[in-house]
Each structure stands twice: as structure tokens, then as C-alpha cells.
A and B are shown apart, each in its own frame.
Chain A
């Protein structure tokens, strides 16, 4: 993977405009609408002109980290004194939606930084850890990553093998993490590992710690503009001051995941909206059998079902946002929205791809890129099926995981 600038700019202008069939905008505040417009404007000027080229080359547009920080996309709902934006959960949602409208990989850069790195440090870190890391993560001076998944433990993180052993003022960390977004670029990693009592503990590991490396994972057909890697720990000495003091067990990482999954539920709508927007426009421009293909019933069925599903997802997300603002959104409710919305977006991407005919498989249009990206989104942050099991367990009270 190559990094940095120097890519080719697309000459096509991004003509996207928001779709709001049920006037859900009436339920949003001025602040939400302004946040949405600002991020949309940013995506149009910074992401759309370059994204096809970066995705094509499987290169990460690392210069966008600073841009994401400047626009305020890292931890928008964290307090301003700790580098966040002081906004509410719906504002956070619409920001993720607009970023993913651009590309799921760009949204992932922001999700990881804000929800999986800044959030746990804010929530579980000591005052010293917060002061040391949060402002620099918020302004993009530091890039962070989140290490939970392991080669042998994906859907079942509680089985993790990565561990820490007490050694006076520090712990000795051993193990490895897999599929870690941003890891090869990261200045620091929030790592989850088991202590000698078998409790999962969280800690901040800095890049230049001895014995720590973060090799890149190559060959992804999805999230190609986002960099993914491993985390390898060989007797890494982690000072005790780097460990989150209180939190023990899976609830630590899971609370971060709830925050990120919430953002993904909104983000996926952005990808769906972009596919629908492109398909609708294409269907009115493309003429076959002497009429626009949008005039055929089979195309209309696809478009009508797309906007129906998008509208349902918008209402679901809005309601989830209201609950989240009141501190009442349950992890199971968030699971339902993540699962529904990502699957909805993937289905729409596939249908939109068909409407574009052969053109749909090229990077002239964003749909195939979204479709490939969404395969990751369907799997990470809890797979589609795992979220189903969460809902199943929530409604029956019976655990079907094991």
C-alpha cells in the first residue's frame, strides 16, 4: 500500500443531494442540519475527487486524518475539554452518515479514532491519560487504533489469548491482534488483554514500545482506502500508568463497540443514500428501447424499494438517536439498527449496481466500491449473524451463542 498525496483527481463533480422522503429533517435541529451540510460539503471537496483513485490503488489517503480532525469528525459527542465536539448523538450520527456517503473506509478512520480510541480513554482512562492523549487524538496529531479481535478469536473475544503479567511497575504484554483498522499508521493502540486473574483489561500501548510491531494486511477487496493491520506484542513492557484502572471484563470493549456500532447504523445509511442517488440519476439519463430505463416497471420496483428501505432506516436511526441522547439506547437496540441498516445498504448497493448495467462495475460510479466496502461493514463490529443472536437472546432470554 502506498500512502499520502499525489493521486489522480477525478474530473467528475459529485452531484449528490440528500434524500428525505418522509421529511425527517423536520425532526432534526438546526445544529444537526448544519453538521450534515458541512460534512457533505467537506466530502464533496476532499473525498469524492480522490476516493476512486485511492480505492483503486488500495492506498490510504492519510492526509485526510488532519482534515477529519479540522472538520470535527473525531469524537463529536465527547466533551470539548477533552478534544471532542460537545455535540449530541444525532449530530454524531449524521456526521458518520455523510462520511460513509463518501466512503466506508473514511468513516472507519473516524469511527475508530473517535469511538474506539478516544471514547475508552475518556470513559475509562485516568485524568492523566485523558490529558496526555485526548487533545492530540482530537486534533489529528495522533492516530489511534483499537485491538480486540485476534487471529483465533473474532466473534468470541472473551476467549482472547493476549495477556498481561504483573512485573512491578509494569505489565508484560504478549499476544497478537488481527484486522486492526489504522494499526500500521497508529501512534498508539488501545489494547484489550487478559490479566493473571483472567479479567479483560484495557491499556494504551505506544507505537515505539519495544517488542511492539504492526504489520499491514494486504489483499483486501473491501475498505481499500482504509489501512488494516495486525498488532504483535512480544514481551512489551506496559507501565501500569497506561492501564485503565477500573474497568474489568468484556463490558469495557463492548461499551466502545456500542458507541461505534451506533455510528455505523447511521453511516450505512450514507452508503445506501449514495447508491440510491446514483441509481436514480442514472435511471433517468440512460435510454434503452427509446425511453429512460427509470420508466420501466422493473427499475421502478428497485428504486421504490430502495427509498422505502432507506426511509425505514432513517426513522429507526432517528429514534435510536433520541434514545441515545437520553442515555437509554440499549446495546441490543443498537445491534438491531447496525444489522438492519448495513444489510439494507448492501442490498441497495447490489440493486443499484444492476441499474447501472455494465457501467456499475466501473469506478465511474460509486456503487461497486460501496458494495465491496459494505461486505466489511456487515462483518466487523459484530457480524450480521452475531447481531441476530443478540436480538434473539434479548427477546427470548436464552443464549444461542454457545
Chain B
């Protein structure tokens, strides 16, 4: 079984977010990057578990410059067998999907995280499935191999749905698919020896460009209302918070 896992780097959740160049560019000064948690804890770990159970190999692919390599090495330390880095800075989901699609033929399973925790696009998986002409299941929290088929459970409004899908598929992984795995020192040492192939970009079109980013208004302080002053509370909830 050959599995491809798409991984990206995202700012650490404790990062202070700001933009430069008139809001067009993310300010990466002082930012610590991590592997996107949906890619790491769910997609990658599940892929490694499936490999350990059924045999085969796990390849990770990242579209990004050399600064992504520490995240890629971590994926290798967790248990991927080899890595591909497409050497171009990602700027849109379409571009990323097209760059990945150029290397994604011949896999039995292609996994992405359900979204990245920075831009929350949740687009690359679906675009990739379209480009590869494969079935797509989004937001899957359970994935099992059953004979020649995949048994996939996903979240739907108010409940869950389990699908049976045959043949190669593209799937986006949500919370629950696997538990986090911390690479151990042996894995870290082995990762150094695993192949990390850097390939040139195919120059995929971006489709869209960022016009600007805007930060949400700073949170205002908490307003304290006396317990017996229901009228003011209702008035504020209605007129200011606009929730009732």
C-alpha cells in the first residue's frame, strides 16, 4: 500500500499574528513554525499506523521553501519513509493542489489535514481529488481498510456517516483519526538518513492573489453588570452584543 500525506507548516498556536506590506504579507519575524496539527496528528499518524499494520510505504509531500525542511524531517521522524519538497513558496490553494498533483499519481491513498490552522481554507484536498480524478471524502475521523475497500467515517450535521469507498481515494483527516505521536530520539536519528527529494515547481498558476489581510478589532474588556440589574444586561445583550 502506497500512501501520500500532504503536510504544511503553520505558525505555532502561541504566535503573535501581524501583517506587513499594507496587509498583503504575513509577518514571519519571530514566528515559530510547526507541522499543521491536522496533517501531523491525524493524517500522518494514521498513515503510519496503516503502514505498520498492512505494510507499504508513506511518502510526505510539502510545497514550500527550505524553511519547511524541519517540519518535513519531523514527519520522517514520526515514521514516514521518504519526502518530497516542491521548491516554491505556496501562495494559493489551487497552486498547492496543482503542484502536489504533479507528484501524486500511483498512490492508494492520499491524505491531507482537514484544514490548516492558519488560513483554514480546507480546499487543497478537494482540489487535489478533482485534479487526480479520484473520489474525495472530507473531514474523516475514522479510516479502516476493509478488503479492497476503505471504510471511512466522517462528521455530518448532528451525527456521523460511514462510507465505503473503493480504489484510490483522497481524504481529509479530522480530529479523532489518530492520537498524537511524539518522535523519539531513534526516529529523529533515522530521519536524517531518509530521502528528502527536492523537486522544482511546475510553475502552477495561483488563480487568486491576496489583496489584503485585516486583523479583527481588539477585544474590549469584560463588562460587569450587577446581579440584580437584569434590565441593563438584557439591553446590552440586545443592542451591543446583538445576540438576543
Q: Which residues of A contact B (CB under 8 A)?
A: 15, 17-18, 30-31, 33-35, 37-38, 41-42, 45, 70-73, 76, 80, 85-87, 91, 95
In angstroms, Cα B14 to Cα A73, docked, is 27
* CB interface residues, B 159-185, toward A, < 8 Å: 180, 182-185
A71 CA / B78 CA spacing, docked (Å): 12
Q: Which residue of A lies closest to B192 (CB)?
A: A31
| Complex CA distance for A246 and B188, rounded to whole angstroms | 35
A87 x B189 contact (CB < 8 A): yes
Q: How far is the CA of A41 from the CA of B74 in the complex (A)?
A: 12
A85 to B192, CA, bound (A): 13
Task: Assess whether A17 is in contact with B32, with CB atoms less than 8 Å apart.
Answer: yes
Least Cβ–Cβ distance between B135 and chain A, in angstroms: 34
Q: Are A91 and B14 in contact (CB under 8 A)?
A: no
* Contact B182–A38 (Cβ < 8 Å): yes
Asked if B120 CB lies within 8 Å of chain A CBs, one says no
A18-B32, A30-B69, A37-B74 given; name 7 further pairs at CB < 8 Å. Answer: A15-B14, A34-B191, A35-B185, A38-B182, A71-B185, A72-B188, A76-B185
Whether a CB of chain A sits under 8 angstroms from the CB of B127 is no
Does B12 count as interface, using CB distance less than 8 angstroms?
Answer: yes
State whether B189 touches A33 (Cβ < 8 A). no
CB pair A45 B185 closer than 8 Å: no
Interface 1/0s, chain B 62-73, versus A by CB < 8 A?
A: 000000011001
A38 and B73 alpha carbons, distance in the complex (Å):
12
Give the residues in chain B near A35, CB-CB below 8 Å.
185, 188
Closest-by-CB residue of B relative to A77 is B185
Asked whether B14 lies within 8 Å of A38 as measured between CB atoms, the reply is no
Selected A-B contacts with CB under 8 Å, 21 pairs: A17-B14, A30-B73, A30-B192, A31-B192, A34-B191, A35-B185, A38-B77, A38-B184, A38-B185, A41-B180, A41-B182, A71-B184, A71-B185, A72-B184, A72-B186, A76-B185, A80-B186, A85-B185, A85-B186, A87-B188, A87-B189
Q: Is the CB of B70 within 8 A of A33?
A: yes
Cα–Cα distance between A30 and B70 once the two chains are bound (Å)? 7
CB distance from A282 to the nearest CB of B (A): 16
Q: Which residue of A34, A71, A87 is within 8 Å of B70 (Cβ)?
A: A34
Bound-complex Cα distance A80 to B188 (A): 13
**Chain B residues near A72 (CB, 8 Å)?**
184-186, 188
- Bound complex: CA A38 to CA B69 (Å): 16
Closest chain B CB from A269 CB (angstroms): 18
- Measured between beta carbons, the chain A residues less than 8 angstroms from B74 are 34, 37
Give which listed residue, B12, B14, B188, contacts A31 with CB less than 8 A. B188
A-side contacts of B188, CB under 8 Å: 31, 34-35, 38, 72, 87
Question: What band does the interface of chain B fall in when counting residues whose beta carbon is under 8 Å from A?
Answer: 10 to 19
Q: Which of B12, B180, B188 has the largest number of chain A CB atoms within 10 A?
A: B188
A45 touches B70 (CB 8 A): no
* Contact assessment for B183 and A45 in the assembled complex, using a CB-CB cutoff below 8 Å: no
In the complex, A87 Cα to B77 Cα: how many Å?
14
Which B residue's beta carbon lies closest to that of A76?
B185
Take A17-B32, A30-B70, A33-B70 as given contacts and tell me if A95 and B185 are in contact as well, using a CB distance cutoff of 8 Å: yes
For B180, the chain A residues whose CB sits under 8 A away are 41, 45
Q: Among B69, B182, B189, B191, point to the contact of A71 (Cβ < 8 A).
A: B182
**A91 vs B77: C-alpha distance when bound (angstroms):** 15
Residue of A nearest to B188 (CB): A34
Minimum CB–CB distance for B153 against chain A, Å: 26
A197 to B144, CA, bound (A): 68
Which chain B residue shows the least CB distance to A73? Answer: B185
Q: In the complex, A73 Cα to B186 Cα: how many Å? A: 10
Of B32, B77, B184, B191, which is within 8 A of A70 by CB?
Answer: B184
The residue of chain A having its C-beta at the shortest distance from the C-beta of B69 within the complex is: A30
Residues of A within 8 A of B14 (CB): 15, 17
Most chain B beta carbons < 10 A, residue from A17, A18, A37: A37
Closest CB in chain A relative to B73 CB, distance in Å: 6
In the complex where A34-B70, A37-B74 touch, is A17 in contact with B12 (Cβ < 8 A)? yes
Residue-by-residue, is B30-50 near A (CB-CB < 8 Å gives 1, otherwise 0)? 001000000000000000000
Give the shortest distance, in Å, between A131 (CB) and chain B (any CB): 19
A14 → B minimal CB distance (Å):
11
Question: Shortest Cβ distance from B219 into chain A, in angstroms?
Answer: 14
**In the complex, chain B residues whose CB is within 8 Å of the CB of A15:** 14
**Closest beta carbon of chain A to B79's beta carbon, Å:** 13
Chain B window 1-40, contacts with chain A (Cβ cutoff 8 Å), 1 for yes, 0 for no? 0000000000010100000000000000000100000000
Which residue of A has the minimal Cβ distance to B78? A38
With a CB–CB cut-off of 8 A, which chain A residues contact B183? Answer: 34, 38
In the assembled complex, the Cα of A319 lies from the Cα of B189 at a distance in Å of: 22
CB distance from A81 to the nearest CB of B (A): 12
Cβ of A76: which chain B residues have Cβ within 8 Å of it? 185
A35 to B182, CA, bound (A): 10
A42 vs B182: C-alpha distance in the bound complex, in angstroms?
7
Determine if A34 and B77 form an interchain contact, defined as CB atoms under 8 angstroms apart.
yes
Give A91's nearest chain B residue, CB to CB: B185
Residue of B nearest to A70 (CB): B184
Chain B residue with minimal CB distance to A15? Answer: B14
Question: In the complex, A91 Cα to B184 Cα: how many Å?
Answer: 12
Which B residues lie within 8 Å of A95 (CB)? 185
Distance A30 CA – B182 CA, assembled complex (angstroms): 16
A97 shortest CB reach to chain B, Å: 14
**Residues in A neighbouring B185, C-beta threshold 8 A:** 35, 38, 71-73, 76, 85, 87, 91, 95
Residues on B with C-beta less than 8 A from A73 are 185
Contacts of A30 in B (CB 8 A): 69-70, 73, 192
How close is B45's CB to chain A, nearest CB, in angstroms?
13
Which residues of B lie under 8 Å from residue A70 when comparing CB positions? 184
B73 proximity list for chain A (CB < 8 A): 30, 34
